[in-house]
């Protein structure tokens, strides 16, 4: 099976792919909740699942920020080069 077939399969089953990825994100948070804690060095260490949610939210915000910034800075009008 080559990469093109794998990508086509994932595109055709996008709903299932999203469900699997959401399940993996939830499993990461659940795993972090049950992870044994030793000493709390930061305030987030005391809150179960904090760092998993923090990473997820920061990742989403970073993607949104960079997408908006790229549209603002990099996008040019259609007749820019004429």
Whether the model clears a pTM of 0.85, i.e. scores above it, the answer is no
Is residue 30 domain-resident?
Answer: yes
The confidence band for 45, taking pLDDT boundaries of 50, 70 and 90, is confident
Helix axes 3-12, 14-34, angle to 10 degrees: 90
N-term to C-term CA, the chain? 45
In a domain, 78, yes or no: no
In a domain, 45, yes or no: yes
- Please check whether residue 17 lies inside any domain of the structure: yes
Count how many domains the chain has: 1
Q: Whose CA is closest to 29, among 7, 3, 55, 62?
A: 55
Locate tokens 């060095």: which residue? 41
Domain around 37: 3-73
Q: What is the pLDDT of residues 24-37, one digit of tens each?
A: 988 887 887 787 77
Rounded to an integer, what distance in angstroms lies between the CA atom of residue 44 and that of residue 6? 39
67 or 80, which is more confident: 67
In a domain, 11, yes or no: yes
- The verdict on residue 24 lying in a domain is yes
């Amino acid at each position: 099976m080559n990469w093109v077939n794998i990508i086509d399969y994932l595109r055709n089953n996008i709903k299932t792919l999203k469900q699997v990825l959401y399940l993996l994100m939830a499993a990461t948070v659940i795993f972090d909740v049950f992870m044994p804690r030793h000493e709390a060095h930061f305030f987030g260490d005391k809150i179960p699942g904090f760092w998993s949610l923090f990473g997820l939210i920061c990742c989403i915000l970073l993607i949104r920020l960079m997408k908006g910034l790229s549209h603002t800075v990099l996008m040019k009008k259609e007749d820019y080069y004429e």
